[in-house]
Amino acid sequence: MITVAEADALLSEHVRALPAIAVPLAEAAGRVLREAVVADRDVPPFDRVTMDGVALASADLDRRRFRVASTQAAGEPPHTLSEAGDCVEIMTGAALAEGADTVVRYEDLVLEDGWASLREGVAVTPGQNIHGRGDDRRAGEPVLGPGVRIGPGHVTALASLGAATVRVSAVPRVAVVTTGDEVVAVAETPLPHQIRQSNGPALRAALALHGVPDVALAHAPDDEARLRTVFEGALRTSDMLVLTGGVSAGRFDLVPGVLASLGVREVFHKVRQKPGKPLWFGVAEDGTPVFGLPGNPVSALVGLVRYVVPFLDAAAGRPAPPRPRLRLTALPRRKNDFTHFVPVRRDGLDAHPAPSNGSGDVLSLVASDGIAEVAAGVQEPGSVPFIPWSPL
């Protein structure tokens, strides 16, 4: 049985970069950027007025009363101060009037009969209330690099720089196939000895939150022929397969054998970890990766966030995000030579183990925000990496 670190290393050998494609900016959120983006012009592109008020020349500040020569809205070409002692009434977002070098906001003025007077005690400094041209970036300077997962803040920058289309990683076609005779669809009424499907919906939800919105879901009973048909179809139409169940020692744990019969080569089976020891990984003849996650719902979700998500990130060209370290407040009972993934409730910098009756306790997950990774041999509670169920 291999260690968690060995599993990580084997997985990284089988990552294939996803193609980069161009998408409209409106479809870019949540995707991984694959290009460097530079400022197409100075940002801001002009000396931008930041307060509604009047623009004037600080050289004229020996006086406190200015003639309002014109009114300039945002979006107009800059007006010009032609006479000493003039000011331009000007709005936030306007390009500073020519000849002006400072802006006094309305609150510091009395505006009357075409004149603006500074209120008693108001001091004006040159350059105030102006966001200078190029203060944020000069034309040609870098703004974003490849590997960023695009969020609303990145869209603000991309839109400002005129990136109507952006190069991003293609989203892989992922098929999730759950297995098991005892499992019925969520909307069905289970017989007393049956359970409802939860791995399919849970893995689809986790993948959607991690940048793969349209996962194909299928289910197959523990029957070689049926498993084979469903796996074969999924392999034909997907870039990655995530299977659950049927990978441990039971008489009806048929998944590894069926995959082998389809030419999917086993890379590893079983990792020194709890939960999720029976984790299986292999690659099809065309290189398609196949994860066989254990069927227990906690093990399946742990396997997804701990192994499948980083694998997808690497394929998309996104560096592994740093894992925050939290203080695990108690250490559950464990096998010492195994890595333990402990579902925890995050509370500031603390992680409290969620009460659980094991990896089949489907309802325990509601009391956790993610998992703490406790390395083999750890003796005391303390600082451990935290992996959230949903991206932070």
Which spans of this chain sit near ligand MOO (rule: CB under 6 A)?
A: 274-277, 294, 296, 299, 359
If one asks whether residue 343 binds ligand LQZAQKY5 (CB under 6 A), the answer comes out as no
Out of 244, 273, 339, 356, name the contact with ligand LQZAQKY5 by CB under 6 A: 244
What 3-state DSSP class applies to 310?
helix
Judged by beta carbon, residue 21 or residue 217, the one nearer ligand LQZAQKY5 is: 217
The residue behind tokens 């839109």 is 159
Judged by beta carbon, residue 245 or residue 343, the one nearer ligand LQZAQKY5 is: 245
Query: Is residue 193 classed exposed, middle or buried when 0-12, 13-18 and 19+ CB atoms within 10 A define those classes?
Result: exposed
Q: Which of ligand LQZAQKY5, ligand MOO, none binds 50 (CB below 5-8 Å, type-dependent)?
A: none
CB within 8 Å of 304: residues ≥ 6 apart: 203, 206, 207, 242, 293
* Alpha-carbon distances, residue 208 vs 172, 201, 203, 204, 244 (angstroms): 12, 10, 8, 6, 17
Judged by beta carbon, residue 289 or residue 294, the one nearer ligand MOO is: 294
If one asks whether residue 339 binds ligand LQZAQKY5 (CB under 6 A), the answer comes out as no
Judged by beta carbon, residue 78 or residue 200, the one nearer ligand MOO is: 200
| Amino acid letter, residue 332 | P
Report, in Å, the least distance between residue 346 CB and ligand LQZAQKY5: 24
Report, in Å, the least distance between residue 15 CB and ligand LQZAQKY5: 24
Mark the segment that binds ligand LQZAQKY5 (CB under 6 A) among 37-45, 184-192, 240-248, 317-325.
240-248
If one asks whether residue 33 binds ligand LQZAQKY5 (CB under 6 A), the answer comes out as no
> ∠ at Cα 300 (268, 195), nearest 5°?
130
If one asks whether residue 206 binds ligand LQZAQKY5 (CB under 6 A), the answer comes out as no
Query: Under rule CB under 6 A, which residues in 258-277 are in contact with ligand LQZAQKY5?
Result: 275, 277
If one asks whether residue 169 binds ligand LQZAQKY5 (CB under 6 A), the answer comes out as no
Q: Which of ligand MOO, ligand LQZAQKY5, none binds 238 (CB below 5-8 Å, type-dependent)?
A: none
CB within 8 Å of 49: residues ≥ 6 apart: 55, 74, 90, 91, 92, 93, 94, 95, 96, 103, 129, 130, 131
Asked whether 385 and 310 are in contact (CB, 8 A), the reply is: no
How far apart CA 287 and CA 191 sit, in angstroms, is: 40
Q: Which of ligand MOO, ligand LQZAQKY5, none binds 200 (CB below 5-8 Å, type-dependent)?
A: ligand LQZAQKY5
Q: Which of ligand MOO, ligand LQZAQKY5, none binds 103 (CB below 5-8 Å, type-dependent)?
A: none
Mark the segment that binds ligand LQZAQKY5 (CB under 6 A) among 13-21, 83-91, 229-237, 239-247.
239-247
Report, in Å, the least distance between residue 258 CB and ligand LQZAQKY5: 13
Judged by beta carbon, residue 129 or residue 299, the one nearer ligand MOO is: 299
CB atoms within 10 A of CB 164: 10
Tell me the pairing of strands 339-347 and 273-274.
parallel
CB within 8 Å of 59: residues ≥ 6 apart: none
> ∠ at Cα 84 (82, 86), nearest 5°?
70
| Closest of 143, 126, 152 to residue 57, by C-alpha | 126
Kindly state the tokens that stand for 109.
Answer: 């003025």
Out of 44, 200, 282, 317, name the contact with ligand LQZAQKY5 by CB under 6 A: 200
**Residues at the contact surface with ligand LQZAQKY5, assessed by CB under 6 A:** 178, 180, 182-183, 195, 197-200, 244-250, 253, 275, 277-278, 294-297, 299, 359-360
